[in-house]
Structure 1
Amino acid sequence: MDKATAAVRSGTTYAVCAISNPPSSTDIHDYREVRLTALRTDPSAYSSTYEREAAFDEETWRARLTGSGKVTLVARARRPDTLDGSTEGRGEGVGCMRMIAARSLPAGEGPQGVDPERGYFVFGMWVRPEHRRRGVGSRLLESGLAWVLEDAAARMGSEGAAGVWLAVTATNSGAKRMYEEAGFRELPEEHSADDLPGEIWMSRKMQVNVFNEL
């Protein structure tokens, strides 16, 4: 997967970048800033809290972002007057998302029926309100799915399928529509996110080395 992909929306350039694994101090700062803003802005969307994660030291953040079977993505925005790179460097962090392989999660986390060797989860998808409806979330998801194909191909070769799962607030019609456009489908009621009241599970399958839904 390319380290960055970019698109121009409403006069602003957006780039989606994968945080280094293990991360540098700059990577940790970038992700921490966006993650804490997400927790503060939309607290009902998370099982964690701003107060809890604001108290994390750098080594706690480093441990969260380090390890096999995971990728952390940050979306950055740059205004047209800074595109020459003379100011604002990497750009403002406006969104984030994590993709984690089921094999890297504690046993039993997620809905029933997830193959620990072939399953992947979307976690912490968030975009700043003022940058929503500009394709940022879709770019984050696209980059995460590309990483899934790379990781699955390295483990399974050219044959087989990977499953990608996520939980979304049932009333968040915009997010559900974005996921549906990316090939995700809502799971039956018995797979509802019991640990996250008001959330539903969605999933899609991906053929290894083919970026499309089975």
Structure 2
Amino acid sequence: MGMLSVRPFEVGDWALYRAVRLAALADAPDAFGSTLEREQAFTEERWRERLAGRDQFLAEDSGQACGLIGIVPTGPRTADLVSMWVAPAARGRGAADLLVGEALRAADAGGIACVELWVTQGNDRAERLYARHGFHRTGRVQPVREGESRLEFAMKRRAATDGSKATTQLPH
């Protein structure tokens, strides 16, 4: 076991971002609204645009990529948490908590008051992860992809309204 860390992706990291994102889609095809085939066809320009339009973070285990997460602005003071994934070899070691925590710190620093996300029904581990970070179900449900029967549900987290930062409970 190595040392886990999280850092932001830079636009110049597009090839690494592409590799990690494609690994995520290959490993967990049912967890994402997109598909491996769709994103394999993206051009370098498209990957760079993605990194330029969001705060995207990379988890590393002793310098080796092992996860990612992103915050995409959706409106004034609102954003979606997207693309959460941790490689199988790094699961259960805190990488997911590090990624979510870093993404939420970036959202708070950017003045984001409300962060939403979607979780595939039956992904109890992900739901527990997000609940540890202050997310709760909203009651909204939709298909994971148009025309499919698999469903996902929305979760939301609001930043503290008294000017303090929302807190995150990490496991010990």
TM-score, normalized by the shorter chain, greater than 0.5? yes
CA positional deviation for 1:16: 0.5
User: For 2:57, what is the secondary structure of its paired residue?
Assistant: strand
* Aligned position for 1:193: 142
Alpha-carbon distance between aligned partners in 1 of 2:160 and 2:79, rounded to the nearest angstrom? 13
Q: For residue 77 of structure 1, what is the amino acid of its counterpart?
A: D
CA positional deviation for 1:50: 1.1
Task: After TM superposition, list the pairs within 5 Å mapping 1:1-40 onto structure 2.
Answer: 11-20=1-10, 23-24=11-12, 27-40=13-26
Q: Provide, for residues 6-49 of structure 1, a one-character-per-residue CA deviation record: whole Å limited to 9, x for no partner.
A: xxxxx3111111112xx11xx11111111000111111111211
CA positional deviation for 1:133: 1.1
Q: 2:119 aligns with which of 144, 150, 168?
A: 168
- How many percent identity over aligned positions? 32
- 2:145 matches 1:203: no
Paired positions, count:
162
* Aligned position for 1:74: 58
* Aligned position for 1:95: 67
CA positional deviation for 1:57: 2.0
User: For 2:117, what is the secondary structure of its paired residue?
Assistant: strand
* Aligned position for 1:183: 134
CA positional deviation for 1:195: 5.1
Q: 1:139 aligns with which of 90, 93, 98?
A: 98
Structure 2, unmatched stretches of 5+, are 168-172
2:32–2:144 CA contact under 8 A, matched in 1 = no
Which structure's CA Rg is the greater one? 1
TM-score by length of 1: 0.71
Runs (4+) of structure 1 moved beyond 4 Å? none
Q: For residue 132 of structure 1, what is the amino acid of its counterpart?
A: R
TM-score by length of 2: 0.87
Alpha-carbon distance between aligned partners in 2 of 1:207 and 1:46, rounded to the nearest angstrom? 29
C-alpha RMSD over aligned residues: 1.6
- 2:35 matches 1:49: yes
Q: For residue 60 of structure 2, what is the amino acid of its counterpart?
A: R
Higher strand share: 2
CA positional deviation for 1:129: 1.3
Q: For residue 193 of structure 1, what is the amino acid of its counterpart?
A: Q
User: For 2:130, what is the secondary structure of its paired residue?
Assistant: helix
Structure 1, unmatched stretches of 5+, are 1-10, 79-90, 104-116, 153-160
Alpha-carbon distance between aligned partners in 2 of 1:66 and 1:212, rounded to the nearest angstrom? 26
